[in-house]
Amino acid sequence: MDNILTQQEAMLRSGQISEVDYTLKLKLEKGSQEYEGETTVRFVYNGGKKGKLKVDFISKKIEILWLNGKEETNYEKKESALFLSGELLAEGKNELKVKYKNAFDHSGSGFHKFTDPSDKAEYMHTDFEPFEAHRLFPSFDQPDLKATYELEITGPSEWTYIHNTVPKSEETQGNYKNIKFQKTKKFSTYLFSLIVGPYAVWEDKAGEIPLRIFCRKSLSKYMDAENLFAITKEAFGFLQEYFGIPYPYGKYDQIFVPEFNMGAMENVGAVTFSESYIFRGPRIYSEYLNRANTVYHEMVHMWFGNLVTMKWWNDLWLNESFADYLSYYSMSKGKIFPDALEHFYVREEWAYREDQLSTTHPIAGKAENTLEAISNFDGISYSKGASVLRQLMYYVGEEKFRDAMRLYFKRHAEKNTVLNDFLSCMSETSGIDIRGWSKEWLETTGVNTLSPVRQNGRLFLHQGPSATNGLLRTHALQATLFREKNGVLEEVWKKRVLVKGKETLLEENYTGEADLLLLNTEDFAYAKTYLSKESLPILKRSLHTLKDRFSRRVVWGSLWQMVRDAELSPKEFLELALDQGLKEPDLSVRNSHILTKALTVIDNYIPETEKRTWSDQLNRIAKQKSLLAQNPEQEQILWFRILENTSKSPEQLAYLKELLDQKKSIPGIAMDQERRWVILSRLSAHGDPESSKRIEEEVTKDNTDLGAKKAFLAKVSFPDPKTKKESWERFLKPIDGDSTDFLRYGMRGFQWNHQKDLLVTYTEEYFNSVISVYETRDPHFASAFGHLMFPSFEPDPNLLKRTQEFLDQNKKLPELLRKDLQQQRDDMQRTLKVLEKYKSLSALEARD
């Protein structure tokens, strides 16, 4: 794969190039798979007459190239760049002009084109992070060569054209429209945006800032613009004051685009979102909160990332960690989702998981090239970095932290920064030398484990080191002691604790016995926390009596970490979940920390022989609970999801079929299109003989792109050798017009745990194919294939051995593939460790 920029190349180029600006002219036609472009790049060059200048550019055809006003043919063109000899360039100002034709992308990235099957409307959007802008126009596609952009576009008059700025002129002639947009402020190439199509639009204002929301026409009936505008205005209200700098980009558009690869992208003044955030039916509270958090996250980027940008992708965390934490923090200061920081605690599980993998890296990581940068869009750069910033805020104080942010933006607006720039601002405002904190937290890997210990009349906490490097860190946290009185857990004390070294004393003369010591209440520290084994009987009796919801979250979070670390039996967790967990009054706690985790335990951490027993028990509970007519809607949604997920036996599947055919019903649950596809996919996966006919009937009712994708998922799910073979071949050699998103849906339907006998032959197929996929396909497709098609039907020592052999035998694997496979291997090792311990304990119990 030639489409890579190395850090070394970028550093060389930023030493040669300055004062860049782009003028783009584009022409789009209805029904065409290609477009015309003419780009002028002006820049100052001081690289001397030696060597070559690399201009990043992917194109179908360069029609003519001019350099400083003269046609030039003496350039070298490779797959993703063109090279100009230093001898051709002038010292000082240069002008490169390229006229070209290019093809639209169908990978979700670059300049992606999509046709809506329900009304044949065409939609296009750009998505350029980290290294895709050169798919649309020749550019110096790196974050530290910030530039201005002037865009002129000609295309069908009925289409809407959305850019980083507003139009300065617009003319319509016949069926065509010509728009010239205002010149942009300076920003990095990856933040350039162009969104095109017959979009539906809603308008509002946040103070003086014009707001618009767009989505394609066929989805407009589902758009709850009022809610999204309310969130947007609340975010602007807080962030402008907090950062001390008014919103810098004039207007703020939010566009929901088809077949987007990520959740959202922070293009300057024109944020793009996945259509998965357009809810086509009722959702549970945490899903509304997560969507709002994405709105906040992208707005934080307008300052963190857009106004001030990292110099290179090794400091990706300077974008993502701040946006991740400050979005939750800002929401917690508002009225719409004041409990946001509790949900931040849920998100941190991503960080804890990834930080215990062999592929972990420091928050301030390395990225030798743009492909490695893609692999750093992970739980470390986002969630661990965010958690560590929460710890830093607790350590220096909220006001000092805010003042450091204000200084940072004032000092570095429209510039690029490195780690030291942030540390300097934080040290200046806090009066604390933050460099030591940085070395301890930003430049190391791994997570510590904190456990309560009672010994010789003393109560203290023990800090365990990171598994791979033995580091003990300094943690500022809150510890709370609860005591059981008359069957109710009541708070005895709450303390701010500074943890250093192996042991930290909490109480010298400790006399309590029936107590629960809860570490890291309110989640200020980044550390796994355990509960003492002595407190388990108390939890089994009285966990639901804890009044503070956040404390109950932390209890369940600690129990989950103990299960994953083989410190708590999966069976004990399930017993707790199906007793105390069902008494949990808060639905979002019950969903994220209890029932979802119970499903994961059943699927992964108990032997095959016991899975059906626990699954059936959960299915019975879900069926029984879902029939209670007094349940609120959100509770019904939750029980339906559990019911569907645990339906495996003929009787359970027959009940789903009766719901599908509306012969039976669940109070408050409409059999809408999304639920119909969910049930059809499960029936198909379990070999229902009518499923093929039903899928064909359903897709005629649901003539949307999502209908086609979900039909593909349902078809691929069917346990039939011919179906599996055909779909496997299609993933490797797509039919013309298959988008990455379409194929990703199919991959999600390929593997079902109960189909192991049918799928086992694809283990070797996977290892034979996967290198080629990563070498020849775009990173989003490759990573989807790598994860979704990995043969993980059940934890298997033979598969673990095969994966390790493959890694050992192929020393020059694509880096993204190596990372993905190492993570699969590490997850298998952890799962097998939990299973082995569970089997050993079960054998001991049987002997006793």
Distance CA 359, CA 819 (A): 6
Other Cβ atoms less than 10 A from the Cβ of 115: the count is 14
Distance CA 165, CA 138 (A): 20
Distance CA 53, CA 201 (A): 43
Distance CA 288, CA 280 (A): 12
Give the Å distances, CA to CA, from 180 to 89, 191, 201, 772.
Answer: 30, 19, 20, 43
Dig out the tokens for 539 from the structure.
Answer: 């939890």
> Do residues 530 and 451 make contact, with C-beta atoms less than 8 angstroms apart?
yes
Distance CA 17, CA 101 (A): 26
Rounded to 5 degrees, what are φ and ψ at 400? -65, -40
Q: Is 41 exposed, middle or buried (0-12, 13-18, 19+ CB in 10 A)?
A: buried
Distance of CA 298 to the CA centre of its chain: 13
Distance CA 32, CA 26 (A): 14
> In terms of DSSP H, where are the helices of 193-284?
225-243
> In terms of DSSP H, where are the helices of 451-592?
536-542, 549-564, 570-577, 587-589
Distance CA 527, CA 388 (A): 10
Residue 3: strand pairing partners: none
Distance of CA 379 to the CA centre of its chain: 8
Rounded to 5 degrees, what are φ and ψ at 590? -60, -35
Other Cβ atoms less than 10 A from the Cβ of 677: the count is 21
Give the Å distances, CA to CA, from 220 to 85, 201, 275, 468.
Answer: 51, 9, 11, 51
- The closest alpha carbon to 570, from 753, 836, 378, 227, belongs to 836
233: Cβ contacts below 8 Å, ≥ 6 apart:
204, 206, 211
Distance CA 319, CA 294 (A): 14
> Do residues 465 and 456 make contact, with C-beta atoms less than 8 angstroms apart?
no
Rounded to 5 degrees, what are φ and ψ at 381? -65, -30
Catalytic residue among 275, 298, 567, 644: 298
Packing angle between helix 740-750 and helix 721-732, nearest 10 degrees? 150
Is 298 a catalytic site residue? yes
Question: How are strands ordered across the β-sheet holding 61-67?
Answer: 70-71, 61-67, 92-103, 34-45, 17-27, 147-156, 176-181, 167-173
* Angle, alpha carbons 31-33-38 (nearest 5°): 110
- The closest alpha carbon to 299, from 334, 259, 275, 345, belongs to 334
Helix (H) or strand (E) holding 276: none
170: Cβ contacts below 8 Å, ≥ 6 apart:
177, 178, 179, 180
Residue with the two structure tokens 């605690």: 345
Dig out the tokens for 777 from the structure.
Answer: 């396909």
Distance of CA 655 to the CA centre of its chain: 35
Residue 491: strand pairing partners: 482
Helix (H) or strand (E) holding 596: helix 596-604
Distance CA 386, CA 408 (A): 17
**Residues annotated catalytic, as ranges:** 298
